[in-house]
Amino acid sequence: MTEVSEILMSVLSTIRVPRPGDSVHKDECAFSFSSPESEGGLYVCMNSFLGFGSKYVERHHAKTGQRAYLHITRTRKTQKEDENNSGSGDPPKKKPTRLAIGIEGGFDVEQEQYEEEVKVVLFPDRQEVTSEDLASMPDVVRERVSLSMAGLQAADSVSHILQVQQWDGEVRQESKYAAELKQLDNGVKIPPSGWKCEVCDLQENLWMNLTDGKVFCGRKYFDGSGGNNHALLYYQQSGYPLAVKLGTITPDGADVYSYDEDDMVLDSKLPEHLSHFGIDMMTMEKTERTITELEIAVNQRVGEWEVIQESGSTLRPLWGPGLTGMKNLGNSCYLNSVMQVLFTIPDFQTKYVSNIDKVFNEAPSDPTQDFKAQVAKLGYGLLSGEYSKPAPDPGDDPSTSTEPRGDQLGIAPRMFKALVGRGHPEFSTNRQQDAQEFLLHFINMVERNCRSGMNPSEAFRFLVEEKIVCQQSQKAKYTQRVDYIVQLPVPMDQATNMEELQEAERRREEADSSGAPPPAAPRAQIPFAACFAALSEPETLTDFWSSAVQAKTTATKTTRFASFPDHLVIQIKKFTFGLDWVPKKLDVSIDVPDTLDLSALHAMGQQPGEELLPEVAPPPLMTPDVEVKAPVLDDSTVSQLCEMGFPLEACRKAVYYTGNTGIDAAMNWVMGHMEDPDFSAPLVLPGSSSAPGTTPTESLPEEHLATIVSMGFSRDQATRALRATNNVLERAVDWIFSHLDDLESMDVSEGGRSEGGSETSREPPPGPRVRDGPGKYELFAFISHMGTSTMCGHYVCHIKKDQQWVIFNDQKVCASEKPPKDLGYLYFYRRVVE
């Protein structure tokens, strides 16, 4: 028996064969972005199935004693032939014809052609064992090692499973009207060409109703292009549900839309329905793009949106430390933009990158599930410059390619995205998300994982002081709350080009009435000072319950900064609701300044001679029977709010806190409290210790209590959190981290207040830890959004590095020529210390 076979025999018990459900990390290193394609390849532990690059495999061996690793190396095949030349044996690359990923006709997933080599490597001496070497070894060794190798090669990697391989946005259902569609015998015959809308004479984007053969134009798009909605208006008048898009009819099918089902549908009897109006489907040729092709065109155009992405300029690619691009994993540009900005901030660099060896050494046995390790890995990947290299052209031989390309090799944050999104209903998906919501979500995770030691989220944390003055008694009430983002409203009535906007609206109304195409709409010009004034000016409260006069009266509320953070984040509230409660984005240009001085907005606190409102709670809205704990609520108002999609408990609170005064008041309450951390938490009545439906302490799930206590909280705190969230563990954890200020007043020990201590002898609990300093700032980064909603479109960020603005557009990192500072969504300022 050879030395190698003896070693394999001695470690045979540690070599496992992957089973269903095992996580196999064979595409990415747990501590870096090394992969089988990287220099040195990837080493997969044959016991834990974790992957490690050549830089970190020795660390894992030394820490665990594991000796057997499957070494995977992949070399990309060269494609010297032109893409359109099929002489290579591979078909030419086709343009997508289907709004899908990973299926025939859809977008290609990153599946380049590689030559793969695998072998077993035994540490610490790095002895190599190939499949051929196993043939001469004892049967027990050959069988176990071969099965493990084959199992690892055949297993789907974690990154592959997480990636949406076969998302199909084009799957259509058979219309419920197709089989029994009523068609009128009105003698209408449709010619093979020369169509136009019967109302406005438009000659494109035309839809023929399959019931009576009427031809009308399609919907008007968000930017004013498209049709004039005449096909939709005709359905609303006639009730005829199905229409086919003229110009998309081919022997293979056509675009059919169901107005009643509000979706693109299939019509299995389409040839019959078309022949009723003289259209022979087998002879028709396509003359217009289908709806899918239009959507695909938008997807392919994502990298070309002009102003924000500076596509009108030839941008110079940048490389090096701090200039690393990030791959888009499928609508992950919101995450890419936020993390690029955060790792420009010294607090995050110090916490995760400067101490990266300490973070990795303290990581648990599975670092892919450790928050600190994955954040440190991402930060090092962005800042080190190791991955800031030109991406090789798929058609070039890497050994001969010398011309740098705009795209970078970059990093693909798959492990990070999977970890921070785990369990979240939105961030765990591949749908587009709101960058502001993700920023707060990530800050919340940082808060959870930094209960001891340095907390980089303190860079954003500040105190807000709200002062309410009762106009009848002139007595005041002061409250403070912690915040991380300043949300600036957009006062559209303060636009400096109001006359231009009014004239454009008048022309649009004229076009609507005449059926003519709408004119291009100008962009509203809003002064930044007007946005801040809308935030800082006193707000009138018309329904304020004053404890001084024991009645409802008018009050004014003023908001000021009780502290100024080191880094200030400003969100421009461009996303709002129309009169029909449909979300819309305000098309505005705001002259955001490079420097800010907020000193005048610092809170002054209680003034000399100023009286405070008595600390008396308002009378609860309850039945005369004090034993009845349920609030008296207008069920119809609650139902109306629920039908709009808001959580039941939020609707109940809205009706309760507005005193059953109607849907308008309740809706205003909902819109004003949507971002409250306990927005969806159960309604808790004044004087009651728990929400309706909660159980006594003895009935709380013991495993939930144990989980929260293990995170460093007391049993009393865990009990309170579970009671407030109907015993839902995930919600309880979110609740407890959003109520840290309240929980500070509770003893951390499980026994509660000590017997020797009295209420009066206890020192007041410490407040939240915030930094303070001068209120002067300079702009260093901003994130911009393109599209009509935060749920779609694209994000990019601009960051100022060494006095040069740099645009980070996923994998593209370039010197910015014209940073569009007036079109941003999130702005990041840092304190200027004189």
**Per-residue pLDDT reduced to its tens digit, 676-709:** 767 777 776 544 444 333 333 346 777 777 777 7
Tens digits of residue pLDDT in 530-542 = 998 888 889 898 8
Q: What is the pLDDT of residue 751?
A: 31
Beta bridge partners of 107: 101
Q: Is 330 exposed, middle or buried (0-12, 13-18, 19+ CB in 10 A)?
A: middle
Tens digits of residue pLDDT in 626-637 = 333 445 677 778
The band of 43, judged by pLDDT with boundaries at 50, 70 and 90, is: very high
Tens digits of residue pLDDT in 320-378 = 999 999 998 878 899 999 999 999 999 999 999 998 999 999 999 999 999 999 999 99
The stretch 288-304 carries a mean pLDDT of 50
Tens digits of residue pLDDT in 569-602 = 999 988 776 555 556 778 899 999 999 999 999 9
Cβ pair 689, 626 in contact under 8 A? no
C-alpha to C-alpha distance for 602 and 463, rounded to whole angstroms: 10
**Token output for 183:** 């068609």
Cβ pair 363, 372 in contact under 8 A? yes
Instruction: Characterise 659 by phi-psi region: left (phi > 0), alpha (psi -120 to 50), beta (else).
Output: left
Over 621-645, what HEC string results? CCCCCCCCCCCCCCHHHHHHHHHCC
CA angle 416, 420, 426 (to 5 degrees): 120
C-alpha to C-alpha distance for 697 and 732, rounded to whole angstroms: 15
Residue 97 has pLDDT above 60, yes or no: no
Lowest-confidence pick of 30-39, 83-92, 184-193, 361-370? 83-92
192 preceded by a cis bond (ω within 30 of 0) = no
Cα–Cα nearest to 54, from 76, 37, 79, 78:
37
Instruction: Characterise 588 by phi-psi region: left (phi > 0), alpha (psi -120 to 50), beta (else).
Output: beta
Burial letters for 486-515: b for 16+ Cβ neighbours within 10 Å, e otherwise?
A: bebebeeebbeeeeebeebeeeeeebeeee
Q: What is the pLDDT of residue 166?
A: 35
Match 């990581």 to its residue by tokens. 363
The DSSP 8-state label assigned to residue 166 in this structure reads: S
C-alpha to C-alpha distance for 612 and 548, rounded to whole angstroms: 9
Cβ pair 88, 81 in contact under 8 A? yes
Q: Which strand ranges, in their side-by-side order, compose the sheet holding 476-483?
A: 476-483, 462-470, 551-561, 539-546
The stretch 493-518 carries a mean pLDDT of 84
Better pLDDT: 203 or 799? 799
Handedness of CA 442, 448, 449, 452 (dihedral sign): positive
**Token output for 314:** 């030839």
Lowest-confidence pick of 4-8, 108-112, 312-316? 108-112
CA angle 536, 542, 545 (to 5 degrees): 105
**Token output for 86:** 């099929």
Handedness of CA 654, 655, 657, 658 (dihedral sign): positive
The DSSP 8-state label assigned to residue 392 in this structure reads: P
Q: What is the pLDDT of residue 438?
A: 93
The band of 21, judged by pLDDT with boundaries at 50, 70 and 90, is: confident
Residue length of the chain: 834
The band of 814, judged by pLDDT with boundaries at 50, 70 and 90, is: very high
Beta bridge partners of 244: 208, 256
Q: What are phi and psi of 488, to 5 degrees?
A: -100, 125
Tens digits of residue pLDDT in 720-756 = 788 777 677 767 777 777 666 556 544 332 233 333 3
Q: What is the pLDDT of residue 193?
A: 82
Lowest-confidence pick of 54-63, 254-263, 547-556, 757-766? 757-766
C-alpha to C-alpha distance for 554 and 541, rounded to whole angstroms: 6
Cα–Cα nearest to 570, from 419, 713, 436, 424:
436
Cβ pair 255, 289 in contact under 8 A? no
C-alpha to C-alpha distance for 223 and 230, rounded to whole angstroms: 17
The amino acid sitting at 160 is H
What's the gap between Cα 412 and its chain centre? 16
The stretch 54-62 carries a mean pLDDT of 94
Cα–Cα nearest to 30, from 409, 328, 385, 373:
373
What's the gap between Cα 189 and its chain centre? 50
Over 576-607, what HEC string results? EECCCCCEEECCEEECCCCEEECHHHECCCCC
Active-site residue, 333 included: yes
C-alpha to C-alpha distance for 447 and 96, rounded to whole angstroms: 43
| Bridge-based pairing state of the strands 263-266 and 256-258 | antiparallel
C-alpha to C-alpha distance for 587 and 505, rounded to whole angstroms: 14
| Bridge-based pairing state of the strands 173-174 and 263-266 | parallel
Tens digits of residue pLDDT in 789-807 = 666 778 999 999 999 999 9
Active-site residue, 794 included: yes
Q: What is the pLDDT of residue 390?
A: 84
C-alpha neighbours within 13 Å on the C-beta side of residue 813: 29
The stretch 439-462 carries a mean pLDDT of 90
Q: What is the pLDDT of residue 747?
A: 38
The stretch 110-132 carries a mean pLDDT of 85
* Strand (E) or helix (H) holding 128: strand 127-129
Cβ pair 526, 589 in contact under 8 A? yes
% of the chain beyond a pLDDT of 90: 42
Better pLDDT: 214 or 164? 214
Q: Is 180 exposed, middle or buried (0-12, 13-18, 19+ CB in 10 A)?
A: exposed
Residue 443 has pLDDT above 90, yes or no: yes
Better pLDDT: 374 or 405? 374
The three-state secondary structure class of 715 is: helix
Q: What are phi and psi of 572, to 5 degrees?
A: -85, 120
C-alpha to C-alpha distance for 40 and 194, rounded to whole angstroms: 64
List 29, 45, 217, 333, catalytic entry: 333
Cβ pair 600, 534 in contact under 8 A? no
**Token output for 427:** 């961030």
**Token output for 341:** 């900005």
Cβ pair 86, 126 in contact under 8 A? no
C-alpha to C-alpha distance for 343 and 349, rounded to whole angstroms: 6
Handedness of CA 55, 58, 62, 67 (dihedral sign): positive
C-alpha to C-alpha distance for 121 and 47, rounded to whole angstroms: 13
Residue 521 has pLDDT above 70, yes or no: yes
Other CB atoms within 10 Å distance of the CB of residue 810: 23
**Token output for 573:** 């509230």
Q: What is the pLDDT of residue 762?
A: 34
List 230, 273, 704, 794, catalytic entry: 794
